[in-house]
Amino acid sequence: MTEDFIQNIQFDLFAVELVIGETATLLMAEDYVTIREVFVNNVKVEPNDDKQIFLTSSGDSLWELSEGDIVVPVENRKYTSKTMYEVDMENGSTDKYLNEQGDFTTPIISHSGVTDKNAETTFQHIDTTITKETLAENDKVTIFDSVTGKIVLTDKNNIKARYIVNVTANTFVADTTYLDFPFKCEIEVTGVTSANNAEVTFSLTQATSGDLAPICVTDTNKVIIYAKSDLGSIVIPLIKVEVVI
């Protein structure tokens, strides 16, 4: 025996979000969607006999007018203003900060936050304006990489020319290399090899005294100058060391 009609019945859940403005009336449409429960601040609100729920805005009772039309919190109410940063910190999001556009959700990428600064495509993070007369052992220097078009850091030993100023030469010892200049002074310059060419610029007094040979020699980690006598301690204004390619 067949039925005169067959109907499928299913039970579905619906999530209903209410956005209440100044006033709102919630109509309970029984034939289509039955709204079974309404909670306001975790308190269940029952509909009236006409199946309506009136949700009052509590905003009016939070503030009152004082003298001079100044709005103040009502009695027993206290309001504290906090910066968005403070609110964010309370919420445990320490990595978010208010940016210049007032966007609280977009973290600002700081210079220190960029781990691979040479990979940054938009901004140049290397400060090339610093003037430094001498280089320490662990110093890095900036060079323009003609391959990538970027300014990058490189070890100072990769620099082909080095300028060393105000170099003290104070250890002159007897030497037989040059007959006219029987003393030499080995000036320690780390990284120099015999493959380097060095140019020593003496001061005017030193250059015209005749006490110093007009040439110098390079060897492993040193530049050697020659003199007619033990000059004690002198300061050489400039030594330029470069690689002979």
CA–CA dist 220, 192 (Å, integer): 6
Task: Tell me which residues touch other proteins (CB under 8 A).
Answer: 1-13, 30-31, 34, 36
CA–CA dist 9, 20 (Å, integer): 33
| Residue with Cβ nearer other proteins (36 or 78) | 36
| Residue with Cβ nearer other proteins (35 or 126) | 35
How many other CB atoms are found less than 10 A from the CB of residue 160?
A: 11
In the chain, the largest separation of any two C-alpha atoms, in whole Å, equals 133
| Residue with Cβ nearer other proteins (38 or 126) | 38
| Residue with Cβ nearer other proteins (15 or 244) | 15
What is the SS3 assignment for 228?
coil
| Residue with Cβ nearer other proteins (44 or 111) | 44
- Residue 32 CB, shortest distance to other proteins, in Å, is 9
- Residue 3 CB, shortest distance to other proteins, in Å, is 4
| Residue with Cβ nearer other proteins (31 or 60) | 31
CA–CA dist 215, 134 (Å, integer): 23
How many other CB atoms are found less than 10 A from the CB of residue 192?
A: 22
Dihedral of alpha carbons 7, 8, 9, 11, sign:
negative
- Residue 42 CB, shortest distance to other proteins, in Å, is 19
Residue 64 belongs to what H/E stretch? strand 63-65
CA–CA dist 198, 242 (Å, integer): 6
Dihedral of alpha carbons 206, 208, 213, 217, sign:
positive
- Residue 30 CB, shortest distance to other proteins, in Å, is 6
